[in-house]
Amino acid sequence: MLEIIVFIIIIMAVVQSSKKKNTRRQAPPFTARPQRPSGSFSSRPAQPSKPLVSGARQKKQKKNASGRKAEGASPVQASGGQSAETRTFIEPTRPYQPARNAGERYEEWMSVPEGKRVCHCGYCGADNLIPKHSDPKNYTCYFCREEL
């Protein structure tokens, strides 16, 4: 009788621990920070005070800062050291559209359709299908988008 009671207690403990694990898995691994409206600059936290710098050094720092802003951030610095939560991703304003004058894909095992001819790309060496009586300079490679 005592063995049955111990067995039931062990089963209840296992069930409760598995329920706790399931609730932990359902919670997100990080808490998302609330997004501020982009126009609210007044709610920005105060920046720490900077040490006083001599006049010549201050001018150099201003020149360097303006030069850095013009160059933009390098992609290596932007991605390195930042966690996935703090990185910002820019959505494209318009979807990718292939070039209108790109040749069509051609593989060696395919037959050449009527009204088309095979043109060899000088850059990547791929074969492209273009209209029969057209100038290849007006078309780009299907694979590398270089001029045929």
Place of tokens 């292939």: 98
Q: How many CB atoms lie within 10 A of CB 119?
A: 18
Question: At residue 82, what is the residue type?
Answer: Q
Residue 126 is predicted with a pLDDT of: 92
Res. 84: pLDDT tops 80 = no
Please give the single-letter amino acid code of residue 3.
E
Beta bridge partners of 117: 130
Q: For the segment 28-57, what is each residue's pLDDT rounded down to a tens digit?
A: 555 555 565 555 555 555 555 555 555 556
The full DSSP string for 74-125 is -HHHHHTT--TTT---PPPSS-----TTBPEE--TTSPPPTTEEEEE-TTT-
Q: What percent of the chain has pLDDT over 90?
A: 26
Please give the mean pLDDT across all residues of the chain.
Answer: 74
Every domain of the chain and the residues it spans: 104-138
- Count other Cβ atoms within 10 Å, centred on residue 129: 19
**Tokens representing residue 19 in the block:** 């329920």
Find out whether 130 and 116 touch, Cβ atoms under 8 Å: yes
**Would you state the pLDDT for residue 75?**
53
Which phi-psi region, left, alpha or beta, contains residue 145 (left: φ > 0; alpha: ψ -120 to 50)? left
Contact (CB, 8 A) for 148 and 128: yes
The CA distance from 106 to 137, in Å, is: 18
Q: What is the pTM of this model?
A: 0.34
**Does the pLDDT of residue 120 top 80, yes or no?**
yes
